[in-house]
Amino acid sequence: MTQLAKRTLARTDAAVERETRARAIDRDERGWRVTDGDDGSWGPFDALLLTPPAPQTASLLAATGWSSERAIRLREVVGSVTYRGARSVVLGYDQPLDRPWFGLRAATADQPVRWVSRESAKPGHVPQGEALLVVQMGDEWARDHEDDPLDAVAPAVAERVATALDEPRLAEPAWTDDQRWRYAKPNGGPPHEAVRVGEEDDLYLAGDWVAGEGRVDAALCAGFDAAERIAH
């Protein structure tokens, strides 16, 4: 997913400040300012685009000194967005797994396993002679096992994958890992006109929650749409 951002930025002269956490935002007659986690001040900027998940965007809006009726409405709109979490389990093997696919997706959304990605099908992702599967678990499973430690869930996940692929050796991975997302999938999104009330004050919002769909392409399109409005 990071390749989308890297390749897009490579075509611009935009400056990127890394390892900088935005703690607060504010607006005055000169424009927008951002305060970082070390109390450093950035700006003023003509326009501000916020792309965090809705709850984190709402926290920034709640901490701002921006006094406007539009600010109140925007906080209410953003704060109303709820999410489902997600969890992926990574299964690593010291033997290759040759299959004619790079990923498999469940036929229905209510399955414990939503999809399986064969990372060795992607050039440069996995050392030669090894295999790595990324297993995206379903919403209900992720909710029920949200706080379970990896060593408690990995064996069951590996067993499911081994059965589904009819490959018994996959039940015993050489190593495992996982990734959890608290704000993974928005449960819909607010009306577009409600999200845009801040644009009169040069505040723009983007993200998958703006599109109302928990997909990378939805977030990307929302960002491009906001950028077009900023530019024009």
Query: Which DSSP category does 96 fall into?
Result: -
Q: List every span in the chain annotated with CATH 3.90.660.10.
A: 84-183
- Residuewise pLDDT in 10s, the chain (232 residues): 677 888 888 888 888 888 899 999 999 889 999 999 999 999 999 999 999 999 999 999 988 878 778 888 999 999 999 999 999 999 999 999 999 999 999 988 889 999 999 999 998 899 999 999 999 999 999 999 999 999 999 999 999 999 999 999 999 999 999 999 999 999 999 988 999 999 999 999 999 999 998 888 899 999 999 999 999 8
Length of the chain measured in residues: 232
| Sheet bearing 83-93, strands edge to edge | 103-105, 113-118, 131-137, 83-93, 175-186
11 phi, psi to nearest 5 deg: -95, 10
- CA atoms of 50 and 63, how far apart (whole Å): 14
Please give the C-alpha separations between residue 35 and each of 6, 13, 18, in angstroms, as whole numbers.
Answer: 25, 23, 14
Burial class (CB in 10 A: 0-12, 13-18, 19+), 204: buried
At the top level of CATH, the class of 2-82+187-231 is alpha beta
Q: 143: which residues sit within 8 A by CB, 6+ positions away?
A: 84, 85
**CATH label, 84-183, candidates 3.30.70.2740, 3.90.660.10, 3.65.10.10, 3.20.20.80:** 3.90.660.10
Q: List every span in the chain annotated with CATH 3.50.50.60.
A: 2-82+187-231
Q: What is the pTM of this model?
A: 0.82
Alpha helices in 10-149 (DSSP H): 54-62, 69-79, 139-144
